[in-house]
Each structure stands twice: as C-alpha cells, then as structure tokens.
Amino acid sequence: MDFKGHFQTSEGPCHPLTVLDDHSRFNLGIRACAEQRHRTVQVQLIEIFKRYGLPIRINTDNGAPWGAARQPGQLTELAIWLVRLGIRLSFSRPYHPQTNGKDERFHRSLKAELLNGRSFHSLGQAQEAFDRWRHIYNHERPHEALQMETPTTRYRASPRCYPEFLPTIEYGPNDTVVMVKSLGLIRFKGRSYKLSNPLRGQPVAIRPGTGADGLFDVFFIHHKLMQIDLREPAADA
C-alpha cells in the first residue's frame, strides 16, 4: 500500500492511494484522495476490506499516515487500527523504496499509461479514469511477471471478512498487561519505557523473551513493539 505522488486537478490536489496484492499484482484499489490523513485512508480501506476481505499482512513505507518517519517502527493511529483487525504490518527499510518494489512498478505503469499528458478537473473525474484503467490492468493487460497472464487469473479474495466491530483485546494468562499512559509511556519493574503516543490508553502485554534472563518483549496484540533489557542501567534511575 502506498500513495502515488500527487498531482493537481482544477479543484485541488489528488493523492492516488494504491493497494496491490503481492502474489498476483491484482490491484484492489486506486482511490483519488484529497489528502493523506489516516481517516481518509481508513475510509478507503474499509470499502476495500468489505469487498475483498482482510489481508494477512500489509507492507508500507515509513511515511505518514501508516508509519512514523522520525521513529521507524512506532505505531500510528492507522497502524493500531490495522493491528486490531488482525493484520500483520511490515515496513520498508527507511529511504529504500525497492522494498515495496511491486507497488513502485505499478506506479510507473499508472503514470506512463494513464497520467502522462492528462489533466483532470476534479477528484471525481480522476476516479472515473482510475476505475477504467484499473479494469484494463486487472482483466485485460498481460503481465510479464505472470507469464503474460492477467492479475485477475491469479488473484483470490481473502476468506477473512471485515468485522463491523473491532475484536476485544485479549492476552494470555501469563502475560503482564499494562496500560499505556500519556506520552506513550509504560512502567515495568520500576522503570519507564517509551512507546508511541497513539497507543495511550491501550493495553500492552509484556512477556519473557527468548535468550538471557532479564529480557522481555512488549506486544500490542500480535505486533512486537520493543524489547526490554533489565540488565541495562535504568535510563530514569
């Protein structure tokens, strides 16, 4: 998932949001967005998830709204919502767009075959053009990486349905569960640790890590946030 570089319409900027299936290159959506805020992305993803089901994993870069560019790996509001849906997250290496190479290649095709030399009056007009090109891309245009098959011949929708309500957060009986306080802080064994600010008010689990004594892993549902090493001197001592 990524945003294609924005362009101007007569009524303002258009930020194309693209979601691509990793296996088949099937495009699940090209959405003409007025901005890149997490609420806008969430609304678009809800429609996509309702139609195609929930993916096992989503890979993005470290930029907003899905990543924290200044603190790679920290969860944003959008990332927290995706984790609560049971979706695993992976992030491209900072300043290394090749990690999301299939989506980058898709963007080049979108630019070359649709956007170059075109202008649009509005987001609605751009969306109509996106929808027409998306049908050609998925159903008519042969793909070299698929042995000249079309993406739709390889794609299967997910059997995991989008839930109307977020699942309850539950942890194991042997987990130490703590609430994230203001400023994204937690306390464990007399020490403070910084998580991400959007996690405030959410429960996280602390469980013994593998390896040496004194190592503990911190999880938000299935997503590992950090490792605590009690062998190190306390930063707030």
Q: Are 142 and 150 in contact (CB under 8 A)?
A: yes
Q: Select from 63, 74, 19 the least CA-distant residue to 225.
A: 74
Q: Do both 184 and 145 map to the same domain?
A: no
Between the two ends of the chain, the Cα-to-Cα distance in Å is: 42
**Which pLDDT score, from 0 to 100, does residue 99 have?**
55
Q: Return left, alpha or beta for 107; rule: phi > 0 is left, psi -120 to 50 is alpha, else beta.
A: alpha
Q: Do both 23 and 131 map to the same domain?
A: yes
Q: Do both 115 and 210 map to the same domain?
A: no
112 exposed, middle or buried (CB, 10 Å; 0-12, 13-18, 19+)?
exposed
Q: How far apart are CA 170 and CA 177, in angstroms?
A: 10
**Which pLDDT score, from 0 to 100, does residue 61 have?**
85
Q: Do both 183 and 97 map to the same domain?
A: no
Q: Do both 132 and 191 map to the same domain?
A: no
**pLDDT tens-place values along the chain, 237 residues long:** 999 989 999 999 999 999 999 999 999 999 999 999 999 999 999 999 999 999 999 999 888 888 776 666 679 999 999 999 999 998 876 655 555 678 788 999 999 999 998 999 999 999 999 999 999 999 998 888 778 899 999 999 999 999 999 999 999 999 999 999 988 999 999 999 999 899 999 999 999 988 778 899 999 999 999 999 998 877 654
Q: How many domains does the chain have?
A: 2
**Which pLDDT score, from 0 to 100, does residue 237 have?**
43
Entry pTM: 0.90
Q: Are 52 and 26 in contact (CB under 8 A)?
A: no
Q: What are phi and psi of 147, to 5 degrees?
A: 55, 40
Range of the domain at 134: 2-153
Kindly state the tokens that stand for 43. 């609304």
Task: For residue 23, give the 3-state DSSP assignment.
Answer: coil
Report if residue 221 sits inside a domain: yes
Residues 6 or more apart in contact with residue 148 via CB below 8 angstroms = 142
Kindly state the tokens that stand for 109. 């095709």
Task: For residue 12, give the 3-state DSSP assignment.
Answer: strand
